[in-house]
Amino acid sequence: MTQNDTRKTWLEQPLPRDLGARMAGHWREGRFLSIAGAYDPIGGLMARKAGFEALYLSGAALTASLGLPDLGLITMDELVSRARAIVRVTRLPLLVDGDTGFGEALNTMRLVRELEDAGVAAVQLEDQILPKKCGHLNGKQLVTPEEMAEKIAAASRARRDLRIVARTDAAASEGIEAAIHRAKLYVEAGADAIFPEALIGEEQFRAFAAAIDAPLLANMTEFGRTPQTSSAEFEQMGYAMAIWPVSSLRIAAKATEGFYRELRDTGTAAGKLDEMQSRAELYDLIGYFEYEALDASIQRTVLDDMQ
C-alpha cells in the first residue's frame, strides 16, 4: 500500500482481496506482527497512523461498544458490517474474532465467506460452547477436540485467501498438555495459526512454542491471567504475533468517563480542550478534504487557526 493509496477515499478503491496473503507473509518471513485492537474504523485509522501494519477486531470490544456483555450476543451481520467498515477505510490486514463461528460447520462456513467478501485477512475461531465467555474468566465450557477440528476443516473448505487462527481455551480447564493436543489437531484440520488463550506465564508460552509447528498468537489483554508482556518478549518466546484486543476501548472509555463527570460538574468542556483531537487533526485523519474534492459542488472548507 503506497502513501498515495492511503490518501484516496474508499469510494475510489475496491476492497483489497489479498490481505490474508499479506498477513501470512509476515509469518513466512519471520517478522513479528504487533496487532492493535480496533473496534471501529476511526480507531483503525489511528492505529495505522501510529504505524501498525495489522488490526484486530475483538468480539468483546465490539460487544462492549454496543453496551452488551461478551456472552455471544452479537450477530454475524453486526460483526461482518463492522469488519467491512474497518477494512475499507484502513486497507490493513484485519484479524476478526469469530467466536464459535455462530453455530456449527455450515454457520462457520457462512461466516468465512462473509468475512472474506468483506476483505478480512483472517478469522479467529475458538473451541468454547455457547454462551461463550472471555477466555480469562472461569466457567468456560469446551467442545470436544474432534468437534472443533471438524469446524476448522469446514472453515478451511470455505476460504480462499482468508487465514484461519484456531483458538483453544483448554489450558485453564484441561491443562497445558491437553491444550497442546488440541492445537495439533487443529493444525492438522487446516488451521494456519494457533491462539493459546489465557496462558499464565513464560513456561506455558514456551511449552506451546516448542510443541506446535505453526505461527502462534499471544493475547496481551489487561486484567487477565497473562502478565504484562512486551512484543519483544513474545517474539523471544517463539510467537509470530500478539494482539492488544480491548486496550483502546479501555483507554477511550476511561477518558470519556472522566470528561462526562467534568462536563456535568462544571457545565463546560473548556477544561478538556487540550485533551481533545482538534477539528484539523480529525479532518486529516479521516481524509475530509479528499472526500470533499470528489464533488465539485462542495465549496472547499477553510479551517482557521482556532480549529
The domain ranges of the chain are 3-245
Question: Which grid cell sits at 250?
Answer: 479501555
Question: What topology is assigned to 3-245 in CATH?
Answer: TIM Barrel (3.20.20)
Question: Which grid cell sits at 59?
Answer: 468480539
What own/partner pairs with CB < 8 Å and gap ≥ 24 does 17-22 have? 17/119, 17/161, 18/161, 19/87, 19/92, 19/93, 19/94, 19/119, 19/120, 19/121, 19/161, 20/93, 20/116, 20/120, 20/121, 20/122, 20/159, 20/161, 20/162, 20/163, 21/161, 22/93, 22/121
* Cβ within 8 Å of residue 266, ≥6 positions away: none
Question: Which grid cell sits at 74?
Answer: 452479537
Question: Which grid cell sits at 284?
Answer: 486529516
Give the pLDDT confidence score for residue 55 in this predicted structure.
98
Query: In sequence order, which ranges of 141-245 are alpha helices (DSSP H)?
Result: 145-158, 170-174, 176-189, 202-211, 231-236
Question: What global pTM score does this model have?
Answer: 0.94
Give the pLDDT confidence score for residue 16 in this predicted structure.
87
Q: Do the beta carbons of residue 136 and residue 200 sit within 8 Å?
A: no
36 pairs with which residues across the strands?
55, 244
Give the pLDDT confidence score for residue 134 in this predicted structure.
65
pLDDT in single tens digits along all 307 residues of the chain: 554 566 789 999 988 889 999 999 999 999 999 999 999 999 999 999 999 999 999 999 999 999 999 998 999 999 999 999 999 999 999 999 999 999 999 999 999 999 999 999 999 999 988 777 566 657 678 999 999 999 999 999 999 999 999 999 999 889 999 999 999 999 999 999 999 998 998 999 999 999 999 999 999 999 988 999 999 999 999 999 999 999 999 999 999 999 999 999 999 999 999 999 999 999 999 999 999 999 888 888 888 755 6
